[in-house]
Structure 1
Amino acid sequence: MENSSETASAEPAKSVLPYTDVKPVGAADFYTAVNATFRFIERKLGQKGLRSYWAELGRGYYAPVTQRWLAGGLGAVAAHWRAFFAAEPGAQVEVSEVDQEVVVEVQTCPAIRFLREHGREIAPFFCQHCYHVSTAMGEAAGIEMRLSGGNGSCTQRFAKTGHFPEAQKEEDIATAG
């Protein structure tokens, strides 16, 4: 795993993530299940149903993270993403705090990389989940997110609600494949 020494520790801070895992790095084959789950939900419930699923994931499963963001502000946002990507196999990510924003520069998305390396057909809307889940996570904490790029590398920017002058543009999120 190649993470910036300034931005990610060798082992994630267990208290920052919403789950307990004794391994310092997760199992990459999980990405195949995530990709298949997104495809299944989209096929059964359409894009609206898939976005609803992502929003519920962000609001429900990640509620402990939202509470940390509410209490700790942007510092807690940065701490979460540093720990999150430190536990993701093959992630090449830098997390920085600049100009009232947390900027997550994903040079190599571990999920997209794994799916490509294993010859999996990637759901074209795969990268949208990062925006929809993170947006739902931030709502109750007064944090908003913007995403640009995708399909293997992207920039995710987090700030207090009202910081960004424009709404997220769907076309700024690349189709995966």
Structure 2
Amino acid sequence: MPETASPPSPLPYTDTKPVGAADFYTAVNATFRFIEKEFGNEGLKRYWTELGRGYYAPVTQRWREGGLPAVAAHWKAFFAAEPEAEVVVTEHANEVVLEVWRCPAIRYLREHGREILPCFCQHCSFVSSAMGEGAGVETRIRGGNGSCEQRFAKTGHFDQPQRLEDIATAS
């Protein structure tokens, strides 16, 4: 019998582990802290934006081609690979909603006594917004510091722009 190829992953990378390594969150937090110290908050925001545009370009292409179902598929696969994440991804007619009940990064950093960069949760907004730019997808985030709601929709769906004040300071 000929082997059938498995469908491509909605994630932009290949990983042979079923779940990621949680100690990565420490490196991410330290990287964000270093960039903010060296280049200021605006430099950190530029870094997050370029991460979304560059590294996640394959995701942007899939979102452009697959629309909101591709957005949902990405986040389902993403959080399935994140250790101890508690996230529900729901597809609606006009948007995809992520209910992050337990953020794996914030949980890990707290449990290991790490000082969390206060603006840590803002990275989700900047990275996701940059990912969506080329796909006609926008995002809005409320909450943070361990749990939040992230909403994705076609550009023009939301009445108001993202307010950083709606994203909680991490601690």
TM-score by length of 2: 0.95
Number of residue pairs the alignment of both structures matches: 165
Q: Which residue in the other structure is 1:18 paired with?
A: 12
Q: What letter matches 1:164 in structure 2?
A: F
> Are 2:167 and 1:155 equivalent residues in the alignment?
no
Unaligned runs of 5+ residues in structure 2 are 1-6
Q: Which residue in the other structure is 1:8 paired with?
A: none
Q: What letter matches 1:127 in structure 2?
A: C
Q: What letter matches 1:30 in structure 2?
A: F
Written as runs of structure 1 = structure 2, the 5 A alignment for 1:103-114 is: 103-114=97-108
Q: Which residue in the other structure is 1:56 paired with?
A: 50
Q: Take 2:81 and 2:132, find their aligned partners in 1: how far apart are those partners?
A: 21
SS in 2 for 1:60: helix
Residue deviations 1:42-101, cap 9 Å, x none?
Answer: 000001100000000000000000000000000000000000000000100000012401
* Partners of 1:103 and 1:155 within 8 A in 2: yes
> Are 2:71 and 1:77 equivalent residues in the alignment?
yes
Q: Percent identity?
A: 73
- Structure 1 runs (4+) greater than 2 angstroms displaced: none
> Are 2:30 and 1:39 equivalent residues in the alignment?
no
**Superposed CA RMSD:** 0.9
Structure with higher Rg: it is 2
Q: What letter matches 1:48 in structure 2?
A: E
Q: Which residue in the other structure is 1:115 paired with?
A: 109
Unaligned runs of 5+ residues in structure 1 are 1-12
2:168 corresponds to which of 155, 169, 174: 174
